[in-house]
C-alpha cells in the first residue's frame, strides 16, 4: 500500500520536487486554490496545488480549520491571510467550501517561513449525507496541520461534544505505527499521536453566555478545561459522555479557547465580505484580532516524528500519500508515510546535492589544472557544500544508504572531472607540440637529416623543441605524458636517421641507441612516479571525504538526538500533566493507566542518550562505505567511531 503511494507521490512530484530555487515572496498565492477535491464522495489531489506547494522550500506552518458547515470558518481564515475575502464565505444554508482549499501567504513577522492556510469542507452537510467522508476530511486536517482550529456555534455543551464525534473516530482513521495485524489502535495505545498531532484551538462563535463558574469569572481556557472534565462511573452513558473529552485531552495536550460575539446583525451577515471593520461589532473585531495574534505567535512549523521540519514539497508529498492511501481503502499510517517520504526526499536530496556540486565545480574549476591536487582542492570545497545541501534535507537515513550513495556519486563525478581535465590538458599539449614541431616535421619530410651528421642535427633540433615545449605555461596535468608519447612516436624516425648516418661508426651508433633507450626509460619512470603520486593524492582525498562525511553525520546525529529528546520530553510532560489532572479529579484508575506510557517514554529517552545509539547509526555508514572504500574504511572507521563516542 505504501509502496504504491510512494510511487504515486514520486510521479506526481517529478516535475517539481527536485527544483532548487526557493519560493520568492512574489510567488505566494494571491488567492486560495483547491488542494484536495471532494468529488463523488472521493478525495483527489489537485496537481496545480501540488506544484505550487512543491516550490516552497521554506519551513511551513499549517493552520487548518474544521467545523460544521455554515459556521463562519472561512471568515477567520481570511483574517489570518490578512484579507476580508478569499476563501468563499457564502450567505446561504448551503455549504460553500468543498474538499480542502489552500492559501499560502508570507508568515507575518517570520520571513523564513510560509503560512499555509487550509479551509475544509463544512462537516455535517445535509446535502452530502456521508459522515464517513466528513471523518476523512477531519482526519486529513489533523494529519496535515500544525495548528487545528475547531469552529462551532454557541457554548461547549453535550450537543457540541456530540457534533465533535469525529475526534473519537481518529483511532480508526489514523495509525501512528505500522503493525503486522493491520488493526487500528485503541485509545490507550495512541500515545504516539501526541508526537505528531497539532495544537488545538476551539473557536466558539456567537457566544452569548457569561464566562462564570460557580459564581466566579473564568477565562476562555478555564471554561474549555472545565467542559473537558470527566464523569466518574463505568455506566455506558458515562463512558459515552467521557469518550470525546478523553480523546481531546489525550490527543491534543496543547489547547486554547476563543469566544466570539456575533460580528453584525443577522440582516448584514450576507454582506460580511464587503463590510469594513468599522461597520462590525467592536467586541468581535477585537476578539478576531486576539485570535489572529495568538495563531501568529504560537503556531509552530509543521514537523513529522523525529522533529524533522516540513517544507512545501514535503507537505505536497504528505498530501499525496495520505489521499492515495485513503482512496485505496486503507488507513493512513504516520510511520509508513514517513518511511515512504524519506525514500522520496532522500532521493531528491541526492539530486539537489549533485546538481549543486556540478554547479560549483563548473563555476570554480578552470580546465586544465596544472596539478591533480589543484583539482582535488576545488572538489573538496564543492563536496563539502553539496554534502551540507544533502544533510539539510535528508532524514530517516538510518543506515546511511543515501549518504553513501551520494559519496559514491560524487566520487564518480570527481573522476569524471579528472578525466575531462586530462582530456583538456592532452588536447592543449598536442596543440602546443604540433605548433612547435612544424619545422622539425618539414625537415624530416624534406630529408634534411638524411646526411652525414644528420642524427646529431635531428637530436639537437628535437632537444630545442623540448626546451621550448617546457617553457610553455599552463599545459596541465598531461604535459609529461603527452611529451613522452610524442617522443616515442619519433623513436623510429630517430633510429632510421641514426642507422643511415655515415658519419658515425657502428659503436657510436650502438652507444647513441642505448642512450636514447635510457632516456626513454627515465622519462617513463618519471611518468610512473607522477601517476603514483596522483593515485596517492586521490586516495588521500577519499580519506578526507570519508572523514568529512563522518564529521557532518556526527553533527546531524547530535541535532537529531536533541530533537528526539525534546519530542520525548514534550510527550512525557503532556502525559504527566494529564496524569496530575486525573489524580486531582479523583480518577486513580485512569491515572495509573498512564504509568506504562510514561515509563516507556522514559526508557526510550534513556536509550537515545546511550552511546550505542550513535554507534549503531555510524555503523551504517561504515558498513556500506566499505563497498567502494575498503582499504580506507578498514583503517579509519574504528578510530573515527570510537573517538566520536568518547566525545559524547
Predicted local distance difference test score (pLDDT) of residue 3: 40
DSSP class of residue 639 equals H
What CA–CA distance (Å, rounded) separates 323 from 338?
A: 14
Is residue 115 within 8 A of residue 104, CB to CB? The reply is yes
Cβ-Cβ contacts under 8 Å for 456 (sequence gap 6 or more):
501
Strand runs labelled E in 355-457? none
CB 153 within 8 A of CB 71: yes
Pairing of strands 114-120, 60-67: parallel
**C-alpha cell at position 406:** 551520494
Per-residue CA distances from 571 to 223, 455, 562, 579 (Å): 24, 90, 14, 12
CB 225 within 8 A of CB 245: no
Residue where the block lists cell 470527566: 230
For residues 152 and 648, what is the distance between their CA atoms, to the nearest angstrom?
51
Cα torsion through 533, 538, 540, 541, rounded to 10: 140
C-alpha 539 chain-centroid distance? 31
DSSP letters along 556-573, please?
Answer: HHHHHHHHHHHHHHHHHH
What angle, 0 to 180 degrees and rounded to 10, lies between the N-to-C axes of helices 454-471 and 401-436? 130
Low-confidence ranges of the chain (pLDDT < 70): 1-27, 70-71, 89-97, 124-130, 179-191, 265, 267-275, 613-648
The pLDDT score that the predictor gives to residue 630 is 54
Would you list the DSSP string of 66-113?
A: EEBTTSSHHHHHHHHTT-SSSS---SSSS----SEEEEEEEPTT-TT-
642 HSE (CA, 13 A, CB side) = 5
CA–CA dist 404, 510 (Å, integer) = 58
Q: What is the pLDDT at residue 8?
A: 39
pLDDT at 159: 86
Q: Which residue has the cell 485505496?
A: 328
Are 338 and 396 in contact, with CB atoms under 8 Å apart? yes
| CA dihedral (353, 358, 359, 364) positive or negative | positive
The count of C-alpha atoms lying within 13 angstroms of the C-alpha of 303, restricted to the half-sphere facing its C-beta, is 18
- Give me the pLDDT at residue 126, please: 54
Distance between CA atoms of residues 170 and 58, nearest Å: 29
How many Å apart are CA 628 and CA 623, to the nearest integer?
A: 10
C-alpha cell at 516: 636514447
Q: What is the pLDDT of residue 273?
A: 63
pLDDT of amino acid 620: 61
Sign of CA dihedral 310, 313, 319, 322: negative
**Taking a C-beta distance cutoff of 8 angstroms, is the pair 622, 644 a contact?**
no
Among 489, 488, 474, residue whose Cα is nearest residue 527: 488
Cell reading at 514: 642505448
Residue 328 β-bridge partners:
none
Where do we find the cell 485503541? Answer: 186
User: Is the preceding omega at residue 319 within 30 degrees of 0, hence cis?
Assistant: no
pLDDT for 13: 38
For the segment 234-289, what is each residue's pLDDT rounded down to a tens digit?
899 999 999 999 999 989 989 999 999 988 767 666 656 666 777 778 888 899 99
Quote the CA–CA distance of 364 and 358 in Å, as a whole number: 10
- Cα–Cα distance measured from residue 207 to residue 230, given in angstroms and rounded to the nearest whole number: 23
Say if CB 357 and CB 380 are below 8 A apart: no
Rg of the chain over all Cα atoms, to the nearest angstrom: 36
Contacts of 428 (CB under 8 A, 6+ apart): 368, 474, 475, 476
Please give the order of strands across the beta sheet that includes 147-153.
42-45, 33-39, 100-106, 114-120, 60-67, 147-153, 199-205, 255-259
501 Rama sector, left if φ>0, alpha if ψ -120 to 50, beta otherwise: beta
What pLDDT is recorded for position 11? 39
Amino acid at each position: 500500500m505504501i509502496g504504491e503511494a510512494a510511487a504515486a507521490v514520486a510521479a506526481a512530484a517529478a516535475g517539481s520536487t527536485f527544483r532548487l530555487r526557493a519560493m520568492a515572496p512574489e510567488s505566494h498565492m494571491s488567492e486560495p486554490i483547491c488542494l484536495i477535491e471532494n468529488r463523488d464522495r472521493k478525495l483527489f489531489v489537485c496537481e496545480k496545488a501540488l506544484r505550487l506547494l512543491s516550490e516552497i522550500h521554506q519551513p511551513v506552518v499549517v493552520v487548518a480549520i474544521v467545523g460544521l458547515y455554515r459556521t463562519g470558518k472561512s471568515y477567520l481564515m481570511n483574517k489570518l491571510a490578512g484579507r476580508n475575502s478569499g476563501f468563499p464565505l457564502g450567505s446561504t444554508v448551503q455549504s460553500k467550501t468543498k474538499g480542502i482549499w489552500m492559501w499560502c501567504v508570507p508568515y507575518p513577522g517570520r520571513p523564513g517561513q510560509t503560512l499555509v492556510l487550509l479551509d475544509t469542507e463544512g462537516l455535517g452537510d445535509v446535502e452530502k449525507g456521508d459522515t464517513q467522508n466528513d471523518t476523512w476530511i477531519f482526519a486529513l486536517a489533523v494529519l496535515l496541520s500544525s495548528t487545528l482550529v475547531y469552529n462551532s456555534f454557541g457554548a461547549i455543551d453535550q450537543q457540541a461534544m456530540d457534533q465533535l464525534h469525529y475526534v473519537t473516530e481518529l483511532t480508526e482513521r489514523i495509525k501512528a505505527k505500522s503493525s503486522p495485524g493491520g488493526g487500528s489502535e485503541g485509545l490507550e495505545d495512541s500515545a504516539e499521536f501526541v508526537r505528531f498531532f497539532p495544537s488545538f484551538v476551539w473557536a466558539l462563535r456567537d457566544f452569548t453566555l457569561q464566562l462564570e463558574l460557580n459564581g466566579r469569572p473564568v477565562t476562555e481556557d478555564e471554561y474549555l478545561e472545565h467542559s473537558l472534565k470527566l464523569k466518574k462511573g463505568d455506566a455506558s452513558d458515562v463512558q459515552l459522555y467521557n469518550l470525546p473529552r478523553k480523546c481531546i485531552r489525550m490527543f491534543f495536550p496543547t489547547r486554547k479557547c476563543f469566544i466570539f460575539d456575533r460580528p453584525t446583525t443577522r440582516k448584514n451577515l450576507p454582506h460580511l465580505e464587503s463590510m469594513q471593520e468599522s461597520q462590525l461589532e467592536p467586541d468581535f473585531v477585537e476578539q478576531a484580532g486576539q485570535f489572529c495574534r495568538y495563531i501568529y505567535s504560537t503556531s509552530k512549523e509543521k514537523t513529522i516524528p523525529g522533529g524533522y521540519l516540513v517544507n512545501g514539497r514535503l507537505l505536497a508529498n504528505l498530501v499525496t500519500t495520505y489521499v492515495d492511501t485513503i482512496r485505496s481503502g486503507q488507513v493512513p499510517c504516520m510511520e509508513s508515510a514517513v518511511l515512504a517520504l524519506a525514500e522520496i526526499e532522500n532521493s531528491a536530496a541526492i539530486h539537489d546535492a549533485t546538481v549543486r556540486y556540478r554547479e560549483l565545480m563548473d563555476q570554480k574549476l578552470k580546465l586544465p589544472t596544472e596539478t591533480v591536487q589543484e583539482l582535488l582542492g576545488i572538489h573538496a570545497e564543492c563536496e563539502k557544500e553539496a554534502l551540507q545541501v544533502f544533510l539539510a534535507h535528508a532524514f530517516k537515513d538510518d543506515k546511511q544508504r543515501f549518504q553513501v550513495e551520494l559519496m559514491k556519486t560524487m566520487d564518480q563525478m570527481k573522476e569524471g572531472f579528472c578525466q575531462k581535465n586530462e582530456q583538456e590538458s592532452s588536447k592543449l599539449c598536442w596543440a602546443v607540440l604540433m605548433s612547435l614541431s612544424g619545422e622539425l616535421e618539414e625537415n624530416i619530410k624534406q630529408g634534411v637529416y638524411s646526411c652525414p651528421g644528420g642524427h646529431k642535427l635531428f637530436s639537437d633540433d628535437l632537444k630545442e623543441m623540448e626546451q621550448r615545449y617546457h617553457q610553455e605555461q599552463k599545459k596541465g596535468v598531461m604535459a609529461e605524458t603527452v611529451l613522452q608519447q610524442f617522443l616515442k612516436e619519433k623513436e623510429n624516425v630517430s633510429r632510421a636517421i641514426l642507422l643511415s648516418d655515415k658519419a658515425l661508426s657502428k659503436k657510436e651508433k650502438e652507444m647513441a641507441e642505448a642512450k636514447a633507450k635510457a632516456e626513454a626509460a627515465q622519462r617513463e619512470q618519471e611518468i610512473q612516479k607522477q601517476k603514483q603520486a596522483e593515485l596517492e593524492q586521490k586516495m588521500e582525498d577519499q580519506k578526507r571525504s570519508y572523514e568529512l562525511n563522518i564529521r557532518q553525520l556526527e553533527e546531524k546525529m547530535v541535532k537529531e538526538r536533541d530533537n528526539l529528546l525534546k519530542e520525548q520530553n514534550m510527550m512525557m510532560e503532556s502525559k504527566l500533566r494529564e496524569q496530575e489532572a486525573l489524580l486531582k479529579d479523583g480518577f486513580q484508575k485512569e491515572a495509573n493507566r498512564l504509568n506504562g506510557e510514561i515509563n516507556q517514554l522514559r526508557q526510550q529517552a534513556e536509550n537515545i542518550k546511550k552511546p550505542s545509539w550513535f554507534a549503531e547509526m555510524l555503523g551504517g555508514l561504515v558498513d556500506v562505505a566499505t563497498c567502494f572504500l575498503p582499504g580506507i574504511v578498514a583503517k579509519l572507521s574504528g578510530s573515527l567511531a570510537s573517538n566520536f563516542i568518547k566525545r559524547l
